[in-house]
């Protein structure tokens, strides 16, 4: 293996390859719960360097795992001691912005937050936004088809990608860097790499679609006491704000109490005794008119008793502190670990019964001390569910998975709304995809990566 590592060094330079004891000094995931176990970490600076590295790995049948910000949380970037981790961390440049065509060409290792900043400097906006924005990368977002907080308005990452450059298992560079909004010239090859979790190729560059810069943001935080009221206020907000409604996020009461009053981690903007809490936010281009319309609609919701308590954020700082409760994933892990965290989707109308049944099943199995904490992107039909049974044995995770995933099948739900499959959900993929679909996925994999070196064992 020293010989292979030397070949990598000859291509990427000494600083481009981390090997020996230094590998395990690197974290294996965003939560710092695991360490990197790879044979070595290769950090190419260019697509051409990566192409040469891939050719060596393919010729020697060495497994390759691409990594971005390690925020995926489904063990998609786990490596064995025989596998090479390809970190895109040195391919982190915004290459160009087309202000008229509203596109941006970026390298795959560019952090999402940097894309937001550069877009804003050009009076534009990149519409995908999520809590991990400071760490996650565009390559990781593409490979997981990340959703985030603005899906009801803009869709997922797939909707924001116009073109992709990727390196295949054998080192072939596929340059499909289309910058056109309209381009109907046969198979849309970029789609192969979106949501593929690094199993069909390594994304090196992308052309992102941008939108006019948001000039006004208005957000409210409301409480309701039953699920019907929650869906009523979602309907009312959708009707009142139309395309300007960018987020409709929910926190079940227990989740809100845990991260505010019970732990003291975040200030509580509203009294904590209610059953459900929701954030809704609108983005627009006309600050004065947007605020007036937002305030009027909020007053109407209150008048019509669609909410039992509520507050309109009066400043960006106040909005941020409310979003901080919704995005406090680190707090959730700190307070409830050991826990199993899920990212599922289902029809909105079925959510409440599903969660009530799940909570009852969890408590029947592990007693009243067990906790189920629920939050997520209600407007997208996507919930995050943390299950903390308080006792943890070898098979506990699998037992919880069975309770969470089994009922989803009959609801037409998905075992992964956003984070992808990785290793964690692989055994449950058949819950959400048919055998025919899985076979087509396997034949795509076989065609593009016949030796199976790309992210081996993940997803399929």
Q: Determine the Cα–Cα distance for residues 113 and 98; give it in Å rounded to an integer.
A: 19
- Which residue's entry shows tokens 């060495």? 62
- CB 140 → ligand FAD: shortest distance, Å? 2
Nearest residue to the partner ligand FAD, using Cβ: 140
Q: Which is nearer to ligand FAD, 150 or 371 (CB)?
A: 150
Per-residue CA distances from 59 to 144, 289, 447 (Å): 27, 62, 16
Q: Which is nearer to ligand FAD, 203 or 233 (CB)?
A: 203
Tokens of 38: 């790879």
Q: Determine the Cα–Cα distance for residues 424 and 75; give it in Å rounded to an integer.
A: 6
- CB 287 → ligand FAD: shortest distance, Å? 26
Tokens of 401: 């998975």
Tokens of 433: 């995809």
- CB 109 → ligand FAD: shortest distance, Å? 7
Helix (H, G, I), strand (E, B) or coil at 134: coil
Q: Which is nearer to ligand FAD, 65 or 339 (CB)?
A: 65
Nearest CA to 126 among 142, 103, 144, 109? Answer: 103
Determine which helix (DSSP H) or strand (DSSP E) holds 340, and give its type and residue range.
strand 340-345
Q: Determine the Cα–Cα distance for residues 331 and 136; give it in Å rounded to an integer.
A: 18
- CB 318 → ligand FAD: shortest distance, Å? 21
Q: Which is nearer to ligand FAD, 274 or 458 (CB)?
A: 458
- CB 413 → ligand FAD: shortest distance, Å? 16
Quick check: 201 and 75 in contact, CB under 8 A?
no
Helix (H, G, I), strand (E, B) or coil at 434: coil
- The two most distant CA atoms of the chain are separated, in Å, by 73
Q: Which is nearer to ligand FAD, 310 or 379 (CB)?
A: 379
Q: Which is nearer to ligand FAD, 166 or 372 (CB)?
A: 166
Q: Which is nearer to ligand FAD, 56 or 302 (CB)?
A: 56
- Beta-strand ranges (E) seen in 88-182 are 94-98, 103-107, 124-125, 161-167, 173-176
Query: Given the rule CB under 6 A, which residues bind ligand FAD?
Result: 30, 65-73, 76-77, 88, 108, 130-132, 136-137, 139-141, 143-144, 146-148, 197-198, 202-203, 327, 329, 418-419, 422, 455, 458
Q: Which is nearer to ligand FAD, 132 or 448 (CB)?
A: 132
Burial call 207-244: b when 16+ CB within 10 Å, e when fewer: bbbbeeebebbbbbbbbbeebebbbbbbebbeebbeeb
- CB 23 → ligand FAD: shortest distance, Å? 16
- CB 164 → ligand FAD: shortest distance, Å? 9
- CB 376 → ligand FAD: shortest distance, Å? 9
């Amino acid at each position: 293996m020293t010989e292979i590592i030397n070949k990598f060094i000859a291509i990427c330079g000494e600083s481009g390859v981390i090997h020996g004891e230094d590998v395990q000094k690197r974290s294996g995931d965003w939560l710092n719960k695991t360490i990197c176990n790879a044979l070595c970490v290769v950090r190419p600076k260019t697509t051409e360097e990566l192409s040469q590295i891939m050719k060596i790995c393919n010729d020697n049948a060495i497994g390759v795992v691409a990594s971005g910000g390690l925020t995926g949380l489904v063990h998609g970037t786990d490596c064995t001691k025989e596998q090479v981790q390809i970190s895109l961390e040195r391919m982190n440049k915004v290459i160009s912005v087309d202000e008229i065509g509203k596109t941006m060409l970026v390298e795959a290792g560019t952090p999402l937050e940097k894309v937001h900043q550069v877009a804003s400097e050009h009076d534009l906006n990149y519409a995908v936004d999520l809590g991990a924005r400071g760490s996650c990368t565009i390559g990781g977002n593409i490979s997981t088809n990340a959703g985030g907080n603005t899906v009801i308005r803009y869709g997922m990452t797939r909707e924001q990608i116009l073109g992709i450059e990727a390196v295949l298992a054998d080192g072939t560079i596929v340059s499909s860097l289309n910058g056109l909004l309209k381009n109907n010239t046969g198979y849309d090859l970029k789609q192969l790499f979106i949501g593929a979790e690094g199993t069909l190729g390594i994304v090196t560059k992308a052309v992102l679609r941008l939108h006019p810069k948001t000039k006004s943001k208005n957000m409210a935080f409301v409480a309701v006491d039953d699920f019907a009221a929650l869906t009523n206020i979602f309907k009312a907000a959708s009707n009142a704000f139309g395309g300007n409604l960018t987020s409709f996020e929910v926190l079940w009461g227990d989740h809100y109490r845990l991260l505010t009053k019970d732990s003291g981690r975040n200030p509580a903007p509203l009294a904590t005794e209610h059953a459900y809490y929701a954030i809704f936010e609108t983005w627009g281009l006309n600050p004065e008119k947007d605020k007036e319309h937002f305030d009027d609609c909020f007053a109407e919701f209150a008048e019509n008793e669609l909410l039992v308590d509520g507050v309109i954020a009066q400043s960006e700082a106040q909005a941020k502190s409310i979003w901080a409760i919704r995005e406090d994933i680190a707090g959730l892990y700190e307070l409830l670990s050991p826990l199993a965290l899920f990212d599922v989707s289902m029809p909105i109308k079925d959510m409440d019964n599903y969660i009530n049944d799940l909570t009852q099943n969890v408590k029947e199995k592990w007693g009243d001390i067990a906790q189920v904490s629920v939050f997520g992107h209600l407007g997208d039909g996507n919930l995050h569910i943390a299950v903390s049974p308080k006792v943890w044995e070898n098979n506990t995770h699998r037992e919880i998975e069975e309770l969470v995933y089994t009922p989803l099948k009959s609801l037409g739900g998905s075992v992964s709304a956003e984070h992808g499959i990785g290793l964690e959900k692989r055994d449950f993929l058949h819950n959400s995809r048919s055998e025919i679909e899985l076979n087509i996925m396997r034949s795509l994999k076989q065609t593009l990566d016949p030796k199976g070196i790309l992210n081996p064992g993940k997803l399929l």
